[in-house]
Structure 1
Amino acid sequence: MPVTLHPVDRGAWEADAQARTDLARIYADAPAERLPAPVDAFIEQHLAVGHAFLCARFNDRLIGAVARRDDGTAWWLSHFCVRKPTRRRGVGTRLLALVGQAAAGEGRRLCAEASQLQMADQVLLSRLGYRLDRDGDHYRLVLPGQPPEVPR
Structure 2
Amino acid sequence: MPVTLHHVDRAAWEADAQAQVDLARIYADAPQERLPSAVDAFIDDHLAAGHAFLCARFNDRLLGAVAVRDDGVAWWLSHFCVRKPTRRRGVGSRLLLLVGQAAGAKGRPLRAEASQLQMADQVLLSRLGFRVTRDGDHYELVRIGQGDPS
TM interval, short-chain normalised: over 0.9
C-alpha distance in structure 2 between counterparts of 1:132 and 1:104, whole Å: 19
1:44 paired with 2:44, answer yes
Q: Secondary structure at the match of 1:42?
A: helix
Q: Secondary structure at the match of 2:120?
A: helix
Q: Which residue of 2 aligns with 1:108?
A: 108
Q: Which residue of 2 aligns with 1:149?
A: 149
Output the amino acid matched with 1:25: R
CA distances 1:32-83 after superposition (whole Å, capped 9, x unpaired): 0000000000000000010000000000000000000001110000000000
C-alpha distance in structure 2 between counterparts of 1:138 and 1:120, whole Å: 15
Output the amino acid matched with 1:147: G
After TM superposition, the structure 1 = structure 2 runs for residues 72-111 of structure 1, keeping only pairs within 5 Å, are: 72-111=72-111
Q: Which consecutive aligned stretches of 4+ in structure 1 deviate over 3 angstroms post-superposition?
A: none
In structure 1, the gaps of 5 or more residues are none
Deviation at 1:149, TM superposition (A): 1.5
TM-score by length of 1: 0.98
Alignment RMSD: 0.5
Deviation at 1:31, TM superposition (A): 0.2
In structure 2, the gaps of 5 or more residues are none
1:60 paired with 2:29, answer no
Output the amino acid matched with 1:8: V
C-alpha distance in structure 2 between counterparts of 1:148 and 1:51, whole Å: 27
Q: Percent sequence identity over matched residues?
A: 80
* Count of residue pairs the alignment pairs up: 150
Output the amino acid matched with 1:126: S
Q: Which residue of 1 aligns with 2:140?
A: 140
TM-score by length of 2: 0.99
Q: Secondary structure at the match of 1:63?
A: strand
C-alpha distance in structure 2 between counterparts of 1:118 and 1:59, whole Å: 29
Deviation at 1:147, TM superposition (A): 2.1
1:22 paired with 2:22, answer yes
Q: Which residue of 2 aligns with 1:71?
A: 71
Q: Secondary structure at the match of 1:2?
A: coil
Q: Secondary structure at the match of 2:122?
A: helix
